[in-house]
Amino acid sequence: MNRKAELFVDCRCELGEGPFWHPLLGRLFWFDILNQTMLSANDAGHIVDRITFRDTVSAAAVIDENALAVTQSGTLLRYDFRTDTSSPIIEIESDIPGNRTNDSRVDRAGGFWIGTMGRRGEHGVGNVYHYRAGVLNRIISGVSIPNSICFSPDGRTAYFTDAGAMIRKCATDPETGMPIGEWEDFFSIEGMGVADGSVVDAEGFVWNARWNGNAVLRISPDGKLDRVVEVPVSRVSCPAFGGKDYKTLFLTTAREHMTPEELEREPQAGSIFAIEVDVAGIPEPAIRL
C-alpha cells in the first residue's frame, strides 16, 4: 500500500470539509464551507456539481438518488437535484446567527449527528445534535469546534473530538444511534497537528485527519496508532471512503488563514487528495427522515 496520498481534484477550497461517497450516484461529494458551496466529482476526479447555498454548508446525508439532507447554518435542508431547489427539514439554531454547522455524519441507525460552532471559533458556543425520524435532540453541549464524528461498524460506539486535543468515544444504542454511556478518552498524540474529521473502516479502525499535521492516521479500536499516511498539504480536514470497492480514501483539505509564504509552499492546499488502501470502508447509511 502507498504511504502518501496523491492529488485527486485540484479544487483549492478555502475550507474543504464533509466528504462522503454517494453510493447511488457513484460520486464523491464535499463542501467548501466558507464559500457556501457543495461540490462533487466522479471516480476519475472530474467535477460534476458545484452548487452554492444561501449560507455556509458543511455536510450532507443521502436521502435517495435525487435528494440530500444538507446541513446549512440554521437549518437542515432537503436539496433536490432534479429541481436545484432546497426546502427546510428542521431548524437547527436558527435563533443563533453567530453559529454555523461543522463536522456531521450519519450513524448506523440513520440518525444524523450535526455539529455546530461559532463562526469565529468562539469557545464553548456550539453543540452536537442528533436528528432521526423527525426528532431533534441536543446530545453534546458547550462545544468549541466539533469534529471526528464517526461510528463503529456495529453501531455501538461513537467517536468525537472538541477542538482536536483528544478523540473521545461513547457507547451508543445500535437501534437508535443515541449515546447511552459516558464519554471517555480514546486517542491523542503529540507532534502531529490536532485531530480533525474521522471515518471508520470495515475493521473498526478510525482514520483521523490531522489539521496542521500533513497526515491521516489509522487508529485501532483499542486506541493505538496503526499507520500514518502522508499528505502533501498541512491542513487535512476530513477523510471518506469511496470508489467501487470502498478502498479509496479521499481527503478534504483547507487553505483558510494560510500566509502567502505557506500557500507558495502548498499551492494545492484546499484540494482533494486520495490514496488506495488495503481495507474497505463502509457505505454511509441513508438518513431516516
Counted domains in the chain: 1
The CATH number for 10's domain is: 2.120.10.30
The residue assigned the cell 457505505 is 283
128-138 as b/e: b if 16+ CB within 10 A: bbbbbeeeeee
Q: Is 107 helix (H, G, I), strand (E, B) or coil?
A: coil
pLDDT at 28: 98
User: Is 226 labeled as catalytic in the residue annotation?
Assistant: no
Q: Tell me, yes or no, whether 44 lies in a domain.
A: yes
Q: Tell me, yes or no, whether 281 lies in a domain.
A: no
* Residue 206 phi, psi dihedral angles, 5° rounding: -95, 130
Q: Tell me, yes or no, whether 287 lies in a domain.
A: no
Q: How many whole angstroms separate alpha carbon 230 and alpha carbon 207?
A: 13
> Cβ distance 103 to 148 under 8 Å?
yes
Q: How many whole angstroms separate alpha carbon 54 and alpha carbon 73?
A: 9
pLDDT at 3: 87
Q: Tell me, yes or no, whether 225 lies in a domain.
A: yes
Q: How many whole angstroms separate alpha carbon 194 and alpha carbon 213?
A: 7
Give the Cβ contact number of residue 203 at 10 Å.
14
User: How many C-alpha atoms does 49 have within 13 Å on its Cβ side?
Assistant: 21
Instruction: Name every residue whose Cβ is closer than 8 Å to that of residue 188 and which is 6 or more positions away in sequence.
Output: 165, 166, 167, 195
R_g over Cα of the chain:
17
DSSP 286: P
Query: What range does the domain containing 221 cover?
Result: 6-276
Q: How many whole angstroms separate alpha carbon 9 and alpha carbon 273?
A: 7
Give the three cell numbers for residue 109.
441507525
Q: Tell me, yes or no, whether 133 lies in a domain.
A: yes
The letter for the amino acid at 91 is E
Q: Tell me, yes or no, whether 283 lies in a domain.
A: no
Torsion of CA 228, 223, 108, 125, to 10 degrees: -90
Out of 173, 196, 201, 245, pick the active-site residue. Answer: 196
pTM: 0.98
pLDDT at 2: 53
The residue assigned the cell 491523542 is 188
Q: How many whole angstroms separate alpha carbon 74 and alpha carbon 169?
A: 27
pLDDT at 254: 98
Q: Per-residue pLDDT for the chain (289 aa), expressed as one digit of tens each?
A: 558 999 999 999 999 999 999 999 999 999 999 999 999 999 999 999 999 999 999 999 999 999 999 999 999 999 999 999 999 999 999 999 999 999 999 999 999 999 999 999 999 999 999 999 999 999 999 999 999 999 999 999 999 999 999 999 999 999 999 999 999 999 999 999 999 999 999 999 999 999 999 999 999 999 999 999 999 999 999 999 999 999 999 999 999 999 999 999 999 999 999 999 999 999 999 999 9
Q: Tell me, yes or no, whether 136 lies in a domain.
A: yes
Q: Tell me, yes or no, whether 108 lies in a domain.
A: yes
Q: Rounded to a whole number, what is the distance in angstroms from the first to the last CA of the chain?
A: 39
